[in-house]
Amino acid sequence: MTNDPRLTPLAASLPATVPFVGPEARERQTGRPFVARLGANENAFGPSPWAIAAMRRAAMDSWKYGDSESHDLRRAIAEREGVSPENVMVGEGIDGLLGLLVRLFVAQGDNVVTSDGAYPTFNYHVAGFGGTLHPIPYTGDFEDPSRLIAKAKEVSAKLIYFANPDNPMGTMHDACTVVRMVQAVPESALLVLDEAYLEFADESVVPDIPIEDARVIRMRTFSKAYGLAGARVGYALGPKAVISAFDRVRNHFGMSRMSQAGAFAAYRDEEWLAHVRAEVIMARRRIGEIAAECGLTVIPSSTNFVCIDCGRDGAFAKCVLDALDARGIFVRMPFVAPQNRCIRVSCGTPEELDAFAEALPLALAEAAAG
């Protein structure tokens, strides 16, 4: 397909790609629904009943634009974090905030450092604004803070992307390691600390970072533990000077009234959050048992998904994934070796995991035969 000559040279140079193929798109391709939706790390246990009720009430006022400042939600987050509302920015999920952050800090040709195989949507934004990406391999299924910092210093990177807990492997570094990483960030760079899965991790490993530390911005989401992936709500925590910069480029009416109301209610329902955490712990244990029954091992996880090591290479794991797909089980896998020896399974309901348990040995046998 030829490019439209009206496109900018940068846009014309980019492939028309989607970072993830969604389950709905896959269902349309195959003409059948999935039996178990275990590939997108969604919260299968759902949002807080408070959030559902709040969104229903807010729907009556959907003729109004949402609060352009997300005032109530920002204040609630700030109070819990012990910071000022000026240290908090709310946006359309972490994905939306990452796009704005790259737009603010990365000009065409600027260098950016990430882990090879880490969250691809960040890479998508960097490419979209003309940045040059420097991917660093994982070390033993962990992102490597020392190597990320070393590369950032070498290339004078503007941004360093680091997810803790990590996606796609589910591994996590302790608080001391993250604090040392922040202290080593070069003056030219900003560390983007993606904490999308933080609520599933042990609180003892959450780093204590001063909110006005100019070397780091933290990204959080309501998509995972709070079960609001479809509402698209994320937030950033950082120094006021960095947070205020978002007002230069953000869509000020990008947050719907329903999304704001749902997130505000969900954030207050700590009992439901504890329930979700307990369900995830049980599901992680069940996935480990299913893997062990098939002679496989899992990567210890601090998230709401588990990576199962299929014991061979990426080609074999892809055959397993395809065989599961053919049986109505939606999972994903890392896309860079050697992590792509695994399949990644989200923490689903007992019924979904029962379906996965039935399909996995058949998929493994089919992959081995093939």
pLDDT digits (tens, 9 = 90+) for 55-90: 999 999 999 999 999 999 999 999 999 999 999 999
Question: Residue 1: what pLDDT?
Answer: 61
277 and 170, same domain (yes or no):
no
Q: In this structure, which amino acid lies at residue 65?
A: Y
Q: Are strands 329-330 and 36-37 parallel, antiparallel or unpaired?
A: parallel
State how far the Cα of 369 lies from the Cα of 347, in Å rounded to an integer. 28
The arithmetic mean of pLDDT across residues 225-236, rounded, is 98
- Phi/psi of residue 72, nearest 5 degrees: -65, -45
Tens of pLDDT, residues 136-179: 999 999 999 999 999 999 999 999 999 999 999 999 999 999 99
Q: What is residue 142's DSSP assignment? A: B
Task: Provide the β-strand partners of residue 159.
Answer: 112, 190
The length of the chain is 370
Overall number of domains in the chain: 2
Given pLDDT bands bounded at 50, 70 and 90, which one contains residue 21?
A: confident
- Phi/psi of residue 119, nearest 5 degrees: -50, 115
CATH number of the domain within which 87 lies: 3.40.640.10
CATH number of the domain within which 340 lies: 3.90.1150.10
265 and 305, same domain (yes or no):
no
The domain boundary residue, chosen from 202, 235, 269: 269
Is residue 2 a part of any domain in this protein? no
The arithmetic mean of pLDDT across residues 215-224, rounded, is 98
Question: Residue 2: what pLDDT?
Answer: 75
Question: Residue 19: what pLDDT?
Answer: 74
- 327-343 burial by CB neighbour count: b if 16+ within 10 A, else e? bbbbbbbbebeebbbbb
239 and 285, same domain (yes or no):
no
Task: Flag the least confident range among 44-53, 176-185, 197-206, 246-255.
Answer: 197-206
Mean pLDDT for the chain? 97
201 and 298, same domain (yes or no):
no
Is residue 53 a part of any domain in this protein? yes
The domain boundary residue, chosen from 219, 243, 269: 269
Is residue 64 a part of any domain in this protein? yes
Q: Are strands 216-221 and 190-194 parallel, antiparallel or unpaired?
A: parallel
Tens of pLDDT, residues 316-341: 999 999 999 999 999 999 999 999 99
With beta carbons less than 8 A apart as the criterion, state whether 172 and 299 touch: no
54 and 163, same domain (yes or no):
yes
Task: Flag the least confident range among 16-30, 91-105, 278-292.
Answer: 16-30
Task: Provide the β-strand partners of residue 346.
Answer: 305
113 and 137, same domain (yes or no):
yes
State how far the Cα of 47 lies from the Cα of 340, in Å rounded to an integer. 31
Residues 6+ away with beta carbon under 8 Å from 296:
308, 309, 310, 311, 364
The arithmetic mean of pLDDT across residues 297-313, rounded, is 98
Is residue 205 a part of any domain in this protein? yes
The closest alpha carbon to 43, from 255, 250, 233, belongs to 233
Is residue 1 a part of any domain in this protein? no
What percent of the chain shows pLDDT beyond 70?
Answer: 100
161 and 264, same domain (yes or no):
yes
Question: Residue 20: what pLDDT?
Answer: 79
357 and 282, same domain (yes or no):
yes
Is residue 4 a part of any domain in this protein? no
191 and 331, same domain (yes or no):
no
pTM score, two decimals?
Answer: 0.96
Give residue 39's domain range.
9-46+271-369
With beta carbons less than 8 A apart as the criterion, state whether 268 and 216 touch: no
312 and 336, same domain (yes or no):
yes
166 and 292, same domain (yes or no):
no
The domain boundary residue, chosen from 214, 245, 269: 269
State how far the Cα of 99 lies from the Cα of 250, in Å rounded to an integer. 10
Is residue 40 a part of any domain in this protein? yes
Is residue 3 a part of any domain in this protein? no
Residue written as token pair 């634009």: 65
82 and 57, same domain (yes or no):
yes
With beta carbons less than 8 A apart as the criterion, state whether 317 and 282 touch: no
- Enter the tokens of residue 186: 């070069």
Question: Residue 259: what pLDDT?
Answer: 98
